[in-house]
Structure 1
């Protein structure tokens, strides 16, 4: 699925099953909540925090994938609501990063 397909699919889902988009502000709050859920799992899977129960650790990789998909879904909703073509935006962003950082990371001793 391309980003363009994803934006179309989410829009169709919102306008049929979801009835309508939440407001941009509500979706921003939801995005923040979803990113927090990703952060919680990352801190337990890859950081120093531990899971409260051993069975939580077993489910965590699948939960992380689901939470990342939630982040992407809400981000796509916001892009649709604000008229942003994510394909174009990502292409422009990569061009900016390439131009700005072409030597920066290669010369970073911390990355060697």
Structure 2
């Protein structure tokens, strides 16, 4: 599934099962909540925290939840994520073509 197909599929799901989109402010808050849940998993899986009893490594699920809400926000605000991502690649390529290759902090290890 590409980005455009994802946006269409999420929109169809919302209209079929979700009644309507939550408003933008609610979805922004939900996005922050989902990013927090993702951060919790990352902190336990890759950081120094340990899992609490009953917690599980559900990294893929949490990443997918973040993506879902991000797509909802794009849909309801009229953002074509395919176009936005292509523009972002162009911006980063023009700005950072050699920047990271010259960063001594990244050349360690």
TM-score normalised by structure 2 residue count: 0.95
For structure 2, list consecutive stretches of 5 or more residues without a partner in the other structure: none
Please name the residue that 1:45 is paired with: 45
Moved over 3 A (4+): none
Pairs within 5 Å for 1:1-112: 1-53=1-53, 56=55, 59-60=56-57, 63-112=58-107
Q: Secondary structure at the match of 1:31?
A: helix
Structure 2 distance, partners of 1:11, 1:52, is: 35
Structure with a larger share of its residues in helix: 1
Unaligned runs of 5+ in 1: none
Alpha-carbon distance in structure 2 between the residues aligned to 1:105 and 1:70: 30
Aligned-pair distance for 1:110?
Answer: 1.1
Aligned CA-pair RMSD: 0.9
Rounded to whole Å, the distance in 1 between the matches of 2:83 and 2:9 is: 17
CA distance in 1, matches of 2:43, 2:65: 18
Distance in 2 between residues matched to 1:52 and 1:70, nearest whole Å: 21
